[in-house]
Structure 1
Amino acid sequence: MKEKSDSRSHNMSHVKGKDTSIELKVRKYLFCHGFRYRKNDRKLPGCPDIVLPKYRCVIFINGCFWHHHYNCKYATIPKTNKEYWIPKIEKNTLRDIENYKKLEQLDYRVIIVWECEIKSSFNARMEYLINEIKRDMNE
């Protein structure tokens, strides 16, 4: 069993926290469609992946495993060491909710883009994302 946990530890140590392939893909799409943004702004709660100051909007591109996307096939709990993983993922989820609330109190709109949405239908999700960003500008 030691080998399996060593292998998981090795794999998890190589998971990137920012500039993931999915983040890069979303940022490139937005840039090509005329959006200008800041990335990973540490001045804001939760250090949003993308900040669109013109739209008072922040975007988090969440991995389904790490942020526990409810009812998603990628949001599994590892079978080994559950006493570590369950509290870890619960803490991530609670921290996310707190950060979203703080951002909304600062008058930012919070948009969450899930890893599975990008994997299953990138173009459709990006079109919807652009509509979400521009939503309040059209009113």
Structure 2
Amino acid sequence: MVFEVLGRIWRLQRALREEAERGLSDIGLGGLEAWLLRVLKLHPYPSEAARRMGLPLPTISHMLRRLEGQGFLERSLDEKDLRRFTFRLTPKGEEALARAEGFMEEALRKRLARLKPEEAQELLRLLEKMEEI
């Protein structure tokens, strides 16, 4: 049962990402890059973002260079530790993130529409319960 649950979660998130990526490609983003923009809003350090996303730091570094080159991010030295860089979204990055979230929300909303309101609430409750440590 464990692998069935994990498989279904994985397939759902993959289907949502693939559907959203149709719109994301129009604004120059991939699904992981959109997710990275979202993570950086709360965790501006590359190592923190990598940890939050469960991706290797070199992968995050490559994505950061690409996003910075496209004007979605700005890099700056951390005022508290000049050995570290922080990243923040530019206005272009903020706009791209808002559009990316819209694409993902639209994809998820289509699937949630298949549920009755009480089923959607139960799904949310169960997911919250599973997240508890």
Same-fold call, TM cutoff 0.5: no
* TM-score w.r.t. length of structure 2: 0.32
More helix by share: 2
More strand by share: 1
* TM-score w.r.t. length of structure 1: 0.31
